[in-house]
Structure 1
């Protein structure tokens, strides 16, 4: 029994790469077989095309073509060999062609043409469950659905690439194989030539092939037209819904509904169909041009809707509907291009490649997670970009202002440090101690917020979204120059903020301890606690790891701040407060408006600071209780703690190694707090713009050129005239 199980397991593993021989496949091809058997035969043929290995020597002379690339995909050689074998066996060729034609005729292609790659569920978990089920239970070949057949035939991620790059000679031979025999007769070709010549448009024009679909309607052309009709109806229905119409631009909002592009779209599609049925090529070209213009207007309208969403709050289901509508508009344009270029096999191949790729994405769990993360990133980034702009000093006046704000933050942090020592000295239970520490941090952060002070390490998570907004124009030289200038200004600002915090919190904490020792002859912490503090900050130990985790908490607080801002704007709380009857009677109309504006301006800052304080207090206690020991390592708080310890231990500590190892540890905190929080925020910002490494490399090269030419700009702002010159 064990031997039979082992044999079955070996056969199961071997079946993954097992492929039938081509001669055996072509010999059993039967155009009159049931649909499931014909589908299974075509799937086996696709597996043979994917097979790795050398072909027969007879295929070598025919495996190359004048327009073939030097390093063509191996699938091209196999397709060429397949056609070579079929040309040598006319009976096989006729049977295979009839089988493929019959299979395509009996399959429903609307799902593939309209729905492939389109999101189905607005909720992440619903879509995730559906895709996991699709991975575990692949479709059966007896389903009369072309999307299921494509899924089984082209599972590899490189399939769209080799399909789109098929040489023209192979495409022409494949088209001849699939075409009806009557379409290849001389009389039909003469009729096609006559109708095409009657078109007034020049053959080189984009719409010159309009007569082809009008003169020779085939099954694929009809499927494309049906899919176009379906897509335009869906686009029109979504565009005319209150969710979209209420978020159009001010100009479109004042236009009557019957004059909107979404309303005219279905009529334009019907006009295209009528012109095609009437066999009028000139009229067809005009109607297709009008349909393209309306689709372009609809796409611009979706941009207005997205702009409205990011200004006035983001709702997930609304973003889902508008995003799907935009994808349908793009798909309709692709199908229209393919329908108008019915006699261009390269255009048809590119469409098939796009459909295969879209079908793979619609079933990929990884793509679902990436796309949802990009959508979430866009939501957070857009809401945080305006806040982050205040934390970037672009000139000397703003730079000095940031130094003053950071100095004020350092003074407030000095009080926070001593309160923290008082809480830890009470020896409370870990969760209670974490709660009180969080309240201490939150109150100090709120004081900084309302006094317009600055905490250095909280800034990077808010400033990275501002850089992401400038990435929209990074494909041009002027946009890259603006982005590089913003990055340099950000680094300079962070250095000023850290310097201002540390240079004030350290002497302030040291001075408080020295004054207490001189007046009251007592230490605010014990010498043992001072030694333990210095040792806990040592660079040799877990300090860098704790500092990196603290950077993660700093970044997480920006997410909560963005969520609070979005909730406030989405639910129009500002308008509700400004027009509240009892508030207007109590404070007056102007007072209620000022209160509403105050809440709108401070909701993100207040909520973000409250969450950050509680995260810094409670997360270490929770993680230490359930996982591993974790302590907050914040550069400003730790610098103040070193000042307290130095005041307790005296000048003799200057000669000890533990002090300087602690100073090195604080330096690593400054780097890791800022770097980790900024890297996470910037990564989210890049994902929101769907930018990869290849898109970032030109920006990094421009940044390093700027730094090597003007390194002083990283620590002190240059004049605007010089900045303009170097951008040029």
Structure 2
């Protein structure tokens, strides 16, 4: 049975290999240099797909002593051997390849692959979305489109970059293959063709033109107002972007002198050319440093996505220019090393795929904006963490004050819903009610427990940068313990104020006026709606998402205010100075700068809590706000209406359990989303989680009371 299985396996492999060999034989025999461009491109695409397709030919041809790393290398070697054994096929294939290269636009591949055509982020996003939906026509003269058809996967760049030297030499010979027939006469040789293969001479010209193109675009973008005004160097003639075009012209002049000098027939790179090349490389390094200065300016003074997009495109063009320069120098040395050329084309394949990735564009351009938003949240998060006893007691008082404000918001919400208005109108007024309560807390320096996690998570992620040192690890553990302790205190302060005070207000209203703020049916329905057995956990998690979104909008507003320099605009506004005076206008500008993030975050959170249920319900997606302070106030009022009858059923206990779960989900979801965004916004290496967990548990087991109550001062807590 084993012998029969081996014979069957061998027969199948031999049959598949024979079929694969017949496929490439048919492809090579049908090469036609006189066919239309679309037909020749389709033929080349089929040959390319045959090369990087897994199959039995690749497995059978590998030898133990010289096994290639990639199967396409085996197939390419087999293809070149077939051409060597069939001179007629080789001539037709060579002429077909040369005709394709001659008629295609190589500038698009060398300069534009990986570079969006639009100068702004929005235009590039639309361009990539269109490319992902519209397939490529094979009759396009854009060589980058042909590369996308030939190499459909970004992994193809790996085996192209790893091509062995002998395969690269055979490929260059194929592209430089010369034949003279009545239909295809041999082209006349130029002065440079006498010293280099024809394919290399043509590629050298294309590379030089591409470098001219890239240098011009880098220089013009670097001298634009958006970039120039953010550079530390203000003199125009001292900017590297201003000197780039002349350096490129000097290289071309020196290269022409080398070609004209017959004494340089062996090594066609003179000392003058090397000096000019090194000068250009130094200028490109200066351009990179200038881009880093602009990034630092944006990080300090506000981020603009379009400017970040232009910086990233400039950086990519500078790197592309350096790679083109390496390949051009390799060609100037008679192609003695073809590896830079193979590496260049591998980079072009990878860049071609990356230039059509929507997620890559979003990630690369929003990373700095996310970093700015996260850093702003981290600065605010420091105010929500109490390291010593004084700040801890202050947090308890601020949370109690926030709970008192929420008492008024709960009763106003009951009044709004008792009017039975249109759901959208009802949601609008509910949003105004919540927003007014949150803004009142902000200006009275009160706190809402569920808002803290979205602010404190970025602060915690920021401290992860220093855990590589003992002091950094100690600070991180201190921050985690203080964060847990402060969050618990804030929730306790809010609930101690909301539930008892709402209950007390209802009891006083009934005792003094004989009236209930809710009818008994509504009170029972309210208690039942917060039960853990219903949709409360899901809606509480969705409310946590809204809490996180409000923190993002808060950071974006702060970045927008700084980016457009609105503090200076308000300080020097003539009308404000006329009304408030010079010092009054400056105080108003500083007040706006300090509170713009808080106002936007609190206002948007309130409006989302009010309007999102009405908006989602209009689209047949039922949703209700499940915020722990609102739920606690509603339960307290309902207990005051029902009295001891509220405890006669199990609904009240399920409702209280649901409220506890609601508090955890509000906090956990918003914290998790903010923490993950903070980690993604800052580049950092993977940390040893075991060391963090070990240090955290060691501290908690040594100082368990620190989770409940801090020391008198931060120094005392550190000592403990």
- In the superposition, the TM-score normalised over structure 1's length comes to 0.80
Alignment match, 2:240: 261
Residue deviations 1:3-41 (CA, integer Å, cap 9, x gap): xxxxxxxxxxxxxxx998101112233456554443332
1:243-322 matches, cutoff 5 A: 243-249=226-232, 252-253=233-234, 256-279=235-258, 280-322=269-311
CA deviation after TM superposition for structure 1 residue 103, in Å: 3.2
Alignment match, 2:53: 51
Residue deviations 1:69-98 (CA, integer Å, cap 9, x gap): 4xx4x4333233323433444554455345
1:409-488 matches, cutoff 5 A: 409-466=402-459
Alpha-carbon distance change, 325 to 494 in structure 1, aligned in 2, over 3 angstroms:
farther
Alignment match, 1:152: 149
Task: Report if aligned partners of 1:63, 1:77 keep a CA contact under 8 Å in 2.
Answer: no
Task: Report if aligned partners of 1:484, 1:702 keep a CA contact under 8 Å in 2.
Answer: no
- The correspondence for 2:384, drawn from 371, 388, 391, is 391
Residue deviations 1:514-550 (CA, integer Å, cap 9, x gap): 4445555654434433322221111100111211221
- The correspondence for 2:75, drawn from 61, 71, 78, is 78
Alignment match, 1:324: 313
Alignment match, 2:6: none
CA deviation after TM superposition for structure 1 residue 100, in Å: 3.1
Task: Report if aligned partners of 2:303, 2:369 keep a CA contact under 8 Å in 1.
Answer: no
CA deviation after TM superposition for structure 1 residue 567, in Å: 3.7
> SS in structure 2 opposite 1:390?
helix
Alignment match, 2:13: none
Alignment match, 1:22: 24
Once residues 196 and 476 of structure 2 are traced to their aligned partners in structure 1, the CA distance between those partners, rounded to angstroms, is 48
CA deviation after TM superposition for structure 1 residue 242, in Å: 1.6
Alignment match, 1:60: 60
1:24-423 matches, cutoff 5 A: 24-31=26-33, 35-55=37-57, 60-62=60-62, 66=66, 68-69=68-69, 72=70, 74-93=71-90, 95-121=92-118, 126-168=123-165, 170-178=167-175, 218-249=201-232, 252-253=233-234, 256-279=235-258, 280-341=269-330, 343-368=336-361, 374=367, 377=370, 380-381=373-374, 384-393=377-386, 398-423=391-416
CA deviation after TM superposition for structure 1 residue 585, in Å: 3.6
Task: Report if aligned partners of 2:387, 2:717 keep a CA contact under 8 Å in 1.
Answer: no
Moved more, 118-127 or 266-275: 118-127
Once residues 229 and 498 of structure 1 are traced to their aligned partners in structure 2, the CA distance between those partners, rounded to angstroms, is 63
What RMSD, in angstroms, separates the aligned Cα atoms of the two structures?
A: 3.9
1:470-509 matches, cutoff 5 A: 490-509=483-502
Once residues 294 and 113 of structure 1 are traced to their aligned partners in structure 2, the CA distance between those partners, rounded to angstroms, is 21
Once residues 34 and 610 of structure 2 are traced to their aligned partners in structure 1, the CA distance between those partners, rounded to angstroms, is 74
Once residues 262 and 470 of structure 1 are traced to their aligned partners in structure 2, the CA distance between those partners, rounded to angstroms, is 38
Alpha-carbon distance change, 563 to 720 in structure 1, aligned in 2, over 3 angstroms:
closer
Residue deviations 1:25-66 (CA, integer Å, cap 9, x gap): 12233456554443332111012123333128xx83455664
Task: Report if aligned partners of 2:520, 2:642 keep a CA contact under 8 Å in 1.
Answer: yes
Alignment match, 1:590: 583
Alpha-carbon distance change, 218 to 473 in structure 1, aligned in 2, over 3 angstroms:
farther
Alpha-carbon distance change, 487 to 78 in structure 1, aligned in 2, over 3 angstroms:
farther
Alpha-carbon distance change, 67 to 296 in structure 1, aligned in 2, over 3 angstroms:
farther
Task: Report if aligned partners of 1:122, 1:316 keep a CA contact under 8 Å in 2.
Answer: no
Alpha-carbon distance change, 30 to 427 in structure 1, aligned in 2, over 3 angstroms:
closer
Once residues 230 and 32 of structure 2 are traced to their aligned partners in structure 1, the CA distance between those partners, rounded to angstroms, is 56
Task: Report if aligned partners of 2:304, 2:369 keep a CA contact under 8 Å in 1.
Answer: no
Moved more, 19-28 or 124-133: 124-133
Alpha-carbon distance change, 102 to 408 in structure 1, aligned in 2, over 3 angstroms:
same
CA deviation after TM superposition for structure 1 residue 352, in Å: 1.6
CA deviation after TM superposition for structure 1 residue 602, in Å: 0.9
Residue deviations 1:446-477 (CA, integer Å, cap 9, x gap): 11100111112223334445566667789999
Once residues 20 and 721 of structure 1 are traced to their aligned partners in structure 2, the CA distance between those partners, rounded to angstroms, is 81
Once residues 274 and 724 of structure 1 are traced to their aligned partners in structure 2, the CA distance between those partners, rounded to angstroms, is 68
CA deviation after TM superposition for structure 1 residue 427, in Å: 3.7
Task: Report if aligned partners of 1:19, 1:47 keep a CA contact under 8 Å in 2.
Answer: no
Residue deviations 1:431-454 (CA, integer Å, cap 9, x gap): 333232222211110111001111
Task: Report if aligned partners of 1:553, 1:615 keep a CA contact under 8 Å in 2.
Answer: yes
CA deviation after TM superposition for structure 1 residue 150, in Å: 0.6
Once residues 609 and 336 of structure 1 are traced to their aligned partners in structure 2, the CA distance between those partners, rounded to angstroms, is 54
Alpha-carbon distance change, 24 to 486 in structure 1, aligned in 2, over 3 angstroms:
farther
CA deviation after TM superposition for structure 1 residue 633, in Å: 0.4
Once residues 289 and 33 of structure 1 are traced to their aligned partners in structure 2, the CA distance between those partners, rounded to angstroms, is 45
Once residues 474 and 222 of structure 1 are traced to their aligned partners in structure 2, the CA distance between those partners, rounded to angstroms, is 53
CA deviation after TM superposition for structure 1 residue 172, in Å: 4.8
Once residues 148 and 79 of structure 1 are traced to their aligned partners in structure 2, the CA distance between those partners, rounded to angstroms, is 22
- The correspondence for 2:639, drawn from 635, 646, 655, is 646
Once residues 413 and 627 of structure 1 are traced to their aligned partners in structure 2, the CA distance between those partners, rounded to angstroms, is 30
Task: Report if aligned partners of 1:484, 1:699 keep a CA contact under 8 Å in 2.
Answer: no
Task: Report if aligned partners of 2:91, 2:177 keep a CA contact under 8 Å in 1.
Answer: no
CA deviation after TM superposition for structure 1 residue 273, in Å: 3.0
> SS in structure 2 opposite 1:218?
helix
Task: Report if aligned partners of 1:105, 1:219 keep a CA contact under 8 Å in 2.
Answer: no
Count of residues paired in the alignment: 667
Alpha-carbon distance change, 217 to 323 in structure 1, aligned in 2, over 3 angstroms:
same
- In the superposition, the TM-score normalised over structure 2's length comes to 0.81
> SS in structure 2 opposite 1:38?
helix
Task: Report if aligned partners of 1:20, 1:44 keep a CA contact under 8 Å in 2.
Answer: no
Residue deviations 1:81-123 (CA, integer Å, cap 9, x gap): 3234334445544553454345334432221111111122356
Unaligned residue ranges in structure 1 (runs of 5+): 1-17, 183-211
Unaligned residue ranges in structure 2 (runs of 5+): 1-19, 180-194, 259-268
Once residues 624 and 541 of structure 2 are traced to their aligned partners in structure 1, the CA distance between those partners, rounded to angstroms, is 11
Residue deviations 1:246-301 (CA, integer Å, cap 9, x gap): 1113xx23xx2101121122233333333433445434443333322322221222
Task: Report if aligned partners of 1:381, 1:468 keep a CA contact under 8 Å in 2.
Answer: no
> SS in structure 2 opposite 1:454?
coil
Once residues 312 and 130 of structure 2 are traced to their aligned partners in structure 1, the CA distance between those partners, rounded to angstroms, is 24
1:571-650 matches, cutoff 5 A: 571-650=564-643
> SS in structure 1 opposite 2:532?
coil
Task: Report if aligned partners of 1:403, 1:496 keep a CA contact under 8 Å in 2.
Answer: yes
